[in-house]
Structure 1
Amino acid sequence: MDKLIKSIAESGSFRAFVLDGTETVKTAQEKHQTLSSSTVALGRALIANYILAANQKGDSKITLKVIGNSSFGHIISVADTKGHVKGYIQNTGVDIKKTATGEVLVGPFMGAGQFVVITDYGTGNPYTSTTPLISGEIGEDLAYYLTESEQTPSAVGLNVLLDEEDKVKVAGGFMLQVLPGAKEEEIARFEKRIQEMPPISQLLTSQDPMDALLTAIYGDEPYKRLSEEKLSFSCDCSRERFEAALLTLGQAELTALKREDQQAEITCQFCGKHYLFTENDLEGLIEHG
């Protein structure tokens, strides 16, 4: 079961989220049939969006758009404050590794672009904030966004590790944020620990990755676990939603679709589920419209 743990230093100067998103990224890989680099890029975006949503209060939705101009195209993800996330990558077939080590490459194939966060508070006026992509590694881009756009100095580490068959082995990460009132000596201690932290891949493959991440972040500093929340890949698409989308085409276009194709098949971009509307279904929509 995927989960996210929220914690805070007893001094009140820092807070940290650590999360295990392995099953989420496995599900995304299965639904979208992504190859290695696309799997890692999409997985990192889903984990980043979990972190963004966990940063919100109330019943909000966060849309994350990682818009690159290179091989991956765009990565789109939607997460809510209840631990649900969905997402897709435009190019599912990027599969590039370092020859010597077999390391899956991501950043160089994102290209230049934007890190776009749209927060929907349910009021009908979503708030959009954008920062440039600084590396395409997504974790670094998230840290830059949090520091620049939300004015909260942050450190982020996230990754997706694949097995010998390029299937998801483990996925997860952390976010550490400096809170108001933190003293310089405290900041220096935390910065030193983050710099000396073992590779995120090593922490994620340890026997208890959540404890390993928290220990690497806090060291001997006392901290409190505030909450533990369940996470899952969950798509809220439905036949009714796609019916409503078809109705927006108007009677003339629906009539042409019925005459020329005798049916309409729609695939949800986020989860790959197929919805078939027969000739009779289209006739009903035309009459309804």
Structure 2
Amino acid sequence: MDDYLVRGVAADGSFRIFAAQTTHTVEEARARHNCWPVAAAALGRTMTAGLLLGANLKGDDLLTIRVLGDGPLGAIIVSANARGEVRGYVQEPQVHLPGTPEGKLPVGAAVGKGHLHVTRDMGLKEPFTGSVELVSGEIAEDIAHYLTHSEQTPSAVSLGVLVDTDNSVVAAGGLLLQLLPNTSDEVLEKLEQNLAQLPHLSSLIKDGETPEEIIHRVTRRLEVKILETKPVCFCCQCSRERLEDLLVGIGKDEVASMLEEQGGAEISCHFCAEQYRFGQGDLQRVLERIEAEKKES
């Protein structure tokens, strides 16, 4: 089954809900960055969170999540847009830590203490960034904490990534439930009861449960309208042209040094690990561009 996201709202307008299956999306990121299990889980959860939060974006809006912890994974950076496209990387993808006593991947310990930053670029003069301290490093709790305290939207978040013994991602997905103003105590009580009975999300997805079925589990005994179903995928906007622009930006001396000492340059995109090779002729052309732009200015 292809990855996709479902967006719904309560018939009485008391809450909105999002659920996504992201197995193939997370597996592509895992393979591109050669992530070991704990890094795959941390990156996959953050990417899924990016897609869930990005479901409210419009047009060319862009959302970036930065998880900056002091654990061995280092930074986790994820970017998502309104089209259901997401990309991301983890600073140290090959980290191994012993599992928790419950047999789970120790994502919280691998992330460590630090801060979560969420930036929304909506084409205005300045992007908006909200920040909170990491609560647990487990990502779902941290995203819920951010939404509740930084955006004043009480939220429940569940994120799951199941990794096989060969490091591949077997199942991944997420759920986001947000309460809207004037939610009644009755509705709140039903939602809390349903959430308390919700099994691990990755187990549900592994067993073939769809995002629609997960939404119906969480909203049992409540009426929900499905507003949108859209595909999601790993997609990076990097290109040879953009990286050539980057070379132009670093300046004449740096490029001349690459040409003289290495006879070329190999640049890897942080987000997708795609490699771009610039030979002697390419770097010479970059130098000519730098000179031409200098004269124009």
The CA distance in 2 between the partners of 1:223 and 1:93, in whole Å, is 42
- Equivalent AA in structure 2 for residue 210 of structure 1: P
Going from structure 1 to structure 2, the CA distance change for 1:152 and 1:279 (only over 3 Å counts) comes to same
Q: Post-superposition shift, 1:23?
A: 0.7
Going from structure 1 to structure 2, the CA distance change for 1:164 and 1:255 (only over 3 Å counts) comes to closer
The CA distance in 1 between the partners of 2:202 and 2:87, in whole Å, is 23
- Equivalent AA in structure 1 for residue 43 of structure 2: L
Structure 2 residue 63 is matched with structure 1 residue 94: no
Partner of 2:12: 11
Q: Post-superposition shift, 1:258?
A: 1.1
Q: Return 230-239 or 120-129, whichever deviates more.
A: 120-129
Going from structure 1 to structure 2, the CA distance change for 1:170 and 1:38 (only over 3 Å counts) comes to same
Partner of 1:45: 46
Q: Post-superposition shift, 1:255?
A: 1.6
Q: Post-superposition shift, 1:98?
A: 2.4
The CA distance in 2 between the partners of 1:56 and 1:273, in whole Å, is 27
Structure 2 residue 107 is matched with structure 1 residue 110: no
Aligned 8 A contact 1:36 1:96 in 2: no
Going from structure 1 to structure 2, the CA distance change for 1:6 and 1:232 (only over 3 Å counts) comes to same
- Give me the TM-score of the superposition, normalised by structure 1: 0.96
Spell out, residue by residue over 1:104-131, the C-alpha distance to the aligned partner (whole angstroms, 9 max, x if none). 2211221111110111112341111111
Structure 2 residue 88 is matched with structure 1 residue 126: no
- Equivalent AA in structure 2 for residue 215 of structure 1: H
Partner of 2:294: none
Aligned 8 A contact 1:63 1:117 in 2: yes
Partner of 2:265: 264
Going from structure 1 to structure 2, the CA distance change for 1:175 and 1:72 (only over 3 Å counts) comes to same
Partner of 1:66: 67
Aligned 8 A contact 2:68 2:76 in 1: yes
Spell out, residue by residue over 1:36-60, the C-alpha distance to the aligned partner (whole angstroms, 9 max, x if none). 1000000001001111111223320
The CA distance in 1 between the partners of 2:203 and 2:169, in whole Å, is 15
The CA distance in 2 between the partners of 1:211 and 1:97, in whole Å, is 35
Q: Post-superposition shift, 1:253?
A: 2.3
Aligned 8 A contact 2:97 2:110 in 1: no
Structure 2 residue 18 is matched with structure 1 residue 20: no
Spell out, residue by residue over 1:179-233, the C-alpha distance to the aligned partner (whole angstroms, 9 max, x if none). 1121122112211221222232332223323243112210121211111011000
Q: Post-superposition shift, 1:102?
A: 4.0
Q: What percentage of residue pairs aligned between the two structures are identical?
A: 38
Structure 1 runs of 4+ off > 3 angstroms? Answer: 99-102
Partner of 1:138: 139
Going from structure 1 to structure 2, the CA distance change for 1:119 and 1:211 (only over 3 Å counts) comes to closer
Q: Post-superposition shift, 1:64?
A: 0.7
Structure 2 residue 150 is matched with structure 1 residue 149: yes
- Equivalent AA in structure 1 for residue 147 of structure 2: L
Q: Return 20-29 or 58-67, whichever deviates more.
A: 58-67
Partner SS, residue 191 of structure 2: helix
Partner of 1:161: 162
The CA distance in 2 between the partners of 1:99 and 1:238, in whole Å, is 40
Aligned 8 A contact 2:157 2:177 in 1: yes
Aligned 8 A contact 1:16 1:175 in 2: yes
The CA distance in 1 between the partners of 2:22 and 2:183, in whole Å, is 30
The CA distance in 2 between the partners of 1:15 and 1:99, in whole Å, is 33
Going from structure 1 to structure 2, the CA distance change for 1:276 and 1:202 (only over 3 Å counts) comes to closer
- Equivalent AA in structure 2 for residue 120 of structure 1: D
RMSD of aligned C-alpha atoms?
Answer: 1.5
Partner of 1:174: 175
The CA distance in 2 between the partners of 1:109 and 1:135, in whole Å, is 11
Query: Which 5+ residue runs of structure 2 have no aligned equivalent?
Result: 291-297
The CA distance in 1 between the partners of 2:133 and 2:151, in whole Å, is 14
Q: Post-superposition shift, 1:244?
A: 0.8
Structure 2 residue 158 is matched with structure 1 residue 185: no
Q: Return 241-250 or 150-159, whichever deviates more.
A: 241-250
Aligned 8 A contact 1:38 1:93 in 2: yes
Partner SS, residue 250 of structure 2: coil
Aligned 8 A contact 2:9 2:16 in 1: yes
